[in-house]
Structure 1
Amino acid sequence: MTTTTTTAAARFATARQVADAVLFEGYVLYPYRASAAKNRLRWQFGVLVPPSWGPAHDEPSAQRTEILMEPKGDPALAVELRFLHARRRTVQRALDDGSFTEATELRLADRVLVPWDEGAEERVELTVNVSRLVGEGSDFPFRRPAREETEPVLDADGRTVGRLVRHTAEIDGVVRLRATEVPGPYRVFKLTAVVENTSRWTPEPGAADRDAALPRSLVAAHLLLGLDAGSFLSMTDPPEWARAAVGSCANLHTWPVLAGEPGRADVVLSSPIILEDHPAIAPESAGAMYDATEIDEILALRTAALTDQEKREARGTDARAAAVIDLAESMPPEVLERLHGAVRSLREITGPGATPSDVPEAVDERADAEAVFRPDTPWWDPARDDTADPARDRIPIDGTSVGVGSRVLLRPGLRRTDAQDLFLQGRSALVEAVLHDVDGGVHLAVTVEGDPGADIRREQGRFLYFQPDEVTPLEAP
């Protein structure tokens, strides 16, 4: 085992922007104060608890990633495990005799310090040749020792008024890697990467306090995987010849996606939060807000509206919360305006008579499917003669013209559906409208045949929505 190379670090750079968002997802929630009830139950994503704690409390101590790769020769596989190590921070007040005593808070001019669990980023980095992983594979154990650190707290005059004491518990873990060749027309391997918490800590008899297990847990654990020669196959959009092999992959408590710049397939992010291939941070985002499912504009405005006392408490809660307060206070109007909403597409082709044939031949098949074609006058502009009409518009699907009144078979796509839609797999439905969105996408509003509430849905306009590639016409062309 060797540490990751500079080349691997550069390869991970773009993916790490999204990985950072995964690492700190829900780290501290608005209003960013420890006193907020929602900040007292933390660390919800990708928590791998000690083995002695997990079974009795239905929390995993390991996560498993499986993904297909096409290595060229015997390439080096770079692996980076990242997680948060919860360290317990207590507050102590200075006494006149020079000693310290525990305190519930320490009030300063600019902040109010309170006990809090901070998240320290940990990394386990290694590089190993794929050939070494074939067969039994290899295990790479790691340890983070227990430690205690103190930080003096000074007032505005430079006098010591207290201190922060941080306790970090020991964590033991292991990364298990294995490569198994997959039969098929091409040289493909299934890569299995298991991250396991192997800490020997055991709770006190009868203890049921999750807070005791968290300092010994891997929080928001996720993997970055990179090949220096070769590529990974998408788990959501694999080539037809690999679909069966992809279907045999077992991913537990994590999900791998292609990461890095669009068009590349040499980097994978496997995270406890389900993402799409090549996820990216919105370019309008001015900084990390840390709030789960954050909406930057709303959070920035609400944070800026906090009282001075509330801001003091937030600044004393955590350094990252303090950074959010500073960000909200310093955000210029033009940045807030940029956050107010954005309509973007992967590609715009403009000009008179623009058609799909104007796409360069070098564009790959997936990009073709996602391209947005815009003439000089957009479809939603009333000045156009052919503005969208949901009641009359028809679209071709598998050679059949589909519109209002058409019967279709529902086959929800795995990439963008929810659990309820999956229950409709194979059901027949009636198209009620053909709708266009501002990004150029098409959606079919449908009612399920045999649904006793279909008439009520029509009356209220509450339909189910599917994209054209999620239905099959039941009428002849």
Structure 2
Amino acid sequence: MTDTATGTPTAVDAFAPELEERLAAARRIADAVLFEGYVLYPYRASAAKNRLRWQFGVLVPPGYAAVSGESAHQRTECLFEPRSGDRIAVELRFLRARRRTVQRALPDGEFETVPELELGDRVLQPWDEGAEETVRLLLPVELLGGDGVVHPFRLAAARDEEHLTHDDGEVAGRLLRESAAVAGAVRVSARPLPGPYGTLLLTAVVENTGGWTPDGGARREDALPHALVSAHLLLAPERGTFLSVTDPPRWAAPVVAGCRNEHTWPVLANPPGTRDDVLLSSPIILEDHPRIAPESPGPLYDATEIDEILALRTAALTEREKREARGTDERAGAVIDLADSLPPEVLERLHGAVRALRDVTDPGSGSGEGEQPWWDPGADRDVDPGRDRILIDGRHIGAGSRVRLGPGRRRTDAQDLFLHGRTGVVEAVLHDVDGSVHLAVTVDGDPGADLWRAQGRFRYFQPDEVTPLDDGDGGPFAEEA
């Protein structure tokens, strides 16, 4: 929206339904960015790693940036193909650190600050909560030429308190929450690129413009209440489209190589196979069209871990630890409740999901003509054009072939070495995203083989770690004539 009196952009509370629908789908991905590292296992304020938080997308006040080496801004540049009369939705999302103090009620009606307060199913401790903040703009593309548009914003300081009671209604204490003033600006501009395509180089800058300055002994935790935490942008035109910065068209590659993306990385955030009309500029590196794993039952706030491990370890916390986690943060409490409520079939679904491999035994997939092989030229192994086999020592090996295992020392561990000399059956020939070949094998004599096979879980070996068995034991593929 634009102020008709001044011609300057103003914020909007919501976008039109069609735009809102597209952005809502992208926000599910953006939420993983917004809360990445927000509260880490074991989800307690007393854990050392939860005292060193807010690592991604932190835009500190300029005064602190000058002495700390951290950044007060992030810059996004991408390629945008507008349509006539187009407008672009810009949504800035970030967390605002809200400092929480715990106080205990005294007999005289006063309160005193304490390091913790036990209350029913919670143990409350001091904590920096994260309040989600959003700035939304709807900008006519025609206003973005030259210096573009600038939208300043300011969030006033705030203070509130929450009184706490025991189960019998007696006052137990209170929580004091304080939010410092935060100020920033969103700057958006565009310039046309040479050529017949009508493409624009779109630049969006988010900056912290707060006036807070540190004293001589100021620490990072003193600056955080004045910072924009986990700051990222969502961009969506009404009719136009974006070009990928990760995999641009050949003609656009030189321009993309010159784009300045500082402290953020833009990726296409629309679902795969749809129009490229949503872009997420993220403070962590993502791939185009990122997706939430369908097995994930809910946010665990730590994308570097495996859902199953986190869920199992969380369920194993002591009752005292769970009470402290519930008192740390509402989101941490939700993780505890989630882990305690997961049924066995959901935990089983979490285990062993593999997406980096593709099955080349499917006639519709595999290595086709012209693909670069993984092996050195002249080696005695080759990927068969039939897409379902690999040539090892003159024999075609594929699903159903019997092999003898010989794990090498270069890329193995003690458990693999225990399998040296054992025999097994090849279940599938697979390629990973780098083009390397892997053989999925069921080991003979494994009492859990049927269960592993039903769940699609195998042991994986590279072609130089297996030897085809002799004819008669060699499966369905005979030696080449």
CA shift in 2, pair 1:357/1:203, >3 Å: closer
Once the two structures are superposed, the pairs formed by residues 289-308 of structure 1 within 5 Å of their partners are 289-308=300-319
One-letter amino acid of the counterpart of residue 29, structure 2: V
CA shift in 2, pair 1:138/1:337, >3 Å: same
Partners of 2:430 and 2:437 within 8 A in 1 = no
Partners of 1:381 and 1:387 within 8 A in 2 = no
Match 1:26 to one of 14, 18, 37: 37
Corresponding residue of 2:352:
341
Aligned equivalents of 2:358, 2:141: Cα separation in 1:
37
Aligned equivalents of 2:129, 2:52: Cα separation in 1:
13
Structure 2 unmatched ranges of 5 or more: 2-10, 369-385, 391-396, 409-427, 439-463, 466-481
Q: Which has the higher Rg, Structure 1 or Structure 2?
A: 2
Corresponding residue of 2:243:
233
1:21-55 CA distance string (max 9 Å, x none): 00000011111111111111110000000000002
Q: What secondary structure, in the 3-state scheme, does the structure 2 residue paired with 1:141 have?
A: strand
Q: Following TM superposition, by how much is the alpha carbon of 1:90 offset from its aligned partner in structure 2, in angstroms?
A: 0.1
Partners of 1:29 and 1:292 within 8 A in 2 = no
Once the two structures are superposed, the pairs formed by residues 397-408 of structure 1 within 5 Å of their partners are none
Q: Following TM superposition, by how much is the alpha carbon of 1:103 offset from its aligned partner in structure 2, in angstroms?
A: 1.2
Corresponding residue of 2:253:
243
Q: What secondary structure, in the 3-state scheme, does the structure 2 residue paired with 1:139 have?
A: strand
User: Which moved further from structure 2: 94-103 or 225-234?
Assistant: 94-103
Corresponding residue of 1:432:
none
Q: Residue 255 in 1 paired to residue 265 in 2?
A: yes
Aligned equivalents of 2:367, 2:399: Cα separation in 1:
26
Partners of 1:77 and 1:225 within 8 A in 2 = yes
TM-score by length of 1: 0.75
Aligned equivalents of 1:388, 1:191: Cα separation in 2:
55
Aligned equivalents of 1:207, 1:71: Cα separation in 2:
49
Match 1:143 to one of 135, 151, 154: 154
Once the two structures are superposed, the pairs formed by residues 112-191 of structure 1 within 5 Å of their partners are 112-191=123-202
Corresponding residue of 2:95:
84
Match 1:286 to one of 281, 285, 297: 297
Q: Following TM superposition, by how much is the alpha carbon of 1:6 offset from its aligned partner in structure 2, in angstroms?
A: 3.0
Aligned equivalents of 1:112, 1:355: Cα separation in 2:
54
CA shift in 2, pair 1:232/1:440, >3 Å: closer
Aligned equivalents of 1:224, 1:388: Cα separation in 2:
50
Corresponding residue of 1:69:
80
Q: What secondary structure, in the 3-state scheme, does the structure 2 residue paired with 1:25 have?
A: coil
Partners of 1:87 and 1:167 within 8 A in 2 = yes
Partners of 2:74 and 2:206 within 8 A in 1 = yes
Q: Following TM superposition, by how much is the alpha carbon of 1:354 offset from its aligned partner in structure 2, in angstroms?
A: 4.6
Q: Following TM superposition, by how much is the alpha carbon of 1:344 offset from its aligned partner in structure 2, in angstroms?
A: 4.3
Corresponding residue of 1:383:
400
Q: What secondary structure, in the 3-state scheme, does the structure 2 residue paired with 1:300 have?
A: helix
Aligned equivalents of 1:440, 1:389: Cα separation in 2:
24
One-letter amino acid of the counterpart of residue 435, structure 2: V
CA shift in 2, pair 1:133/1:440, >3 Å: closer
CA shift in 2, pair 1:311/1:120, >3 Å: same
Q: Following TM superposition, by how much is the alpha carbon of 1:441 offset from its aligned partner in structure 2, in angstroms?
A: 6.5
Aligned equivalents of 2:187, 2:311: Cα separation in 1:
41
Match 1:437 to one of 430, 439, 442: 430
How many percent of aligned residue pairs carry the same amino acid?
Answer: 59
One-letter amino acid of the counterpart of residue 194, structure 2: P
CA shift in 2, pair 1:385/1:240, >3 Å: farther
Matched positions, count: 388
Corresponding residue of 1:198:
209
Match 2:109 to one of 98, 103, 109: 98
Partners of 1:49 and 1:216 within 8 A in 2 = yes
Q: What secondary structure, in the 3-state scheme, does the structure 1 residue paired with 2:24 have?
A: helix
Corresponding residue of 1:211:
221
Q: Following TM superposition, by how much is the alpha carbon of 1:378 offset from its aligned partner in structure 2, in angstroms?
A: 8.6
CA shift in 2, pair 1:390/1:73, >3 Å: farther
Q: Following TM superposition, by how much is the alpha carbon of 1:5 offset from its aligned partner in structure 2, in angstroms?
A: 2.9
Partners of 1:182 and 1:190 within 8 A in 2 = yes
Q: Following TM superposition, by how much is the alpha carbon of 1:145 offset from its aligned partner in structure 2, in angstroms?
A: 0.7
CA shift in 2, pair 1:169/1:104, >3 Å: same
Match 1:266 to one of 263, 277, 280: 277
Partners of 2:360 and 2:387 within 8 A in 1 = no
Match 2:53 to one of 29, 38, 42: 42
Q: What secondary structure, in the 3-state scheme, does the structure 2 residue paired with 1:53 have?
A: helix
1:234-265 CA distance string (max 9 Å, x none): 00111111111111210000000000211231
One-letter amino acid of the counterpart of residue 309, structure 1: R
Aligned equivalents of 1:390, 1:243: Cα separation in 2:
42
User: Which moved further from structure 2: 290-299 or 88-97?
Assistant: 290-299
Corresponding residue of 1:318:
329
CA shift in 2, pair 1:112/1:57, >3 Å: same
One-letter amino acid of the counterpart of residue 436, structure 2: H
Partners of 1:377 and 1:384 within 8 A in 2 = no
Q: Following TM superposition, by how much is the alpha carbon of 1:100 offset from its aligned partner in structure 2, in angstroms?
A: 1.4
Q: Following TM superposition, by how much is the alpha carbon of 1:388 offset from its aligned partner in structure 2, in angstroms?
A: 13
Q: What secondary structure, in the 3-state scheme, does the structure 1 residue paired with 2:63 have?
A: coil
TM-score by length of 2: 0.75
Q: Following TM superposition, by how much is the alpha carbon of 1:86 offset from its aligned partner in structure 2, in angstroms?
A: 0.3
One-letter amino acid of the counterpart of residue 383, structure 1: G
Partners of 1:92 and 1:162 within 8 A in 2 = yes
Aligned equivalents of 1:57, 1:440: Cα separation in 2:
39
Aligned equivalents of 1:12, 1:123: Cα separation in 2:
13
Partners of 2:153 and 2:185 within 8 A in 1 = yes
Aligned equivalents of 1:92, 1:20: Cα separation in 2:
32
Aligned equivalents of 2:245, 2:324: Cα separation in 1:
44
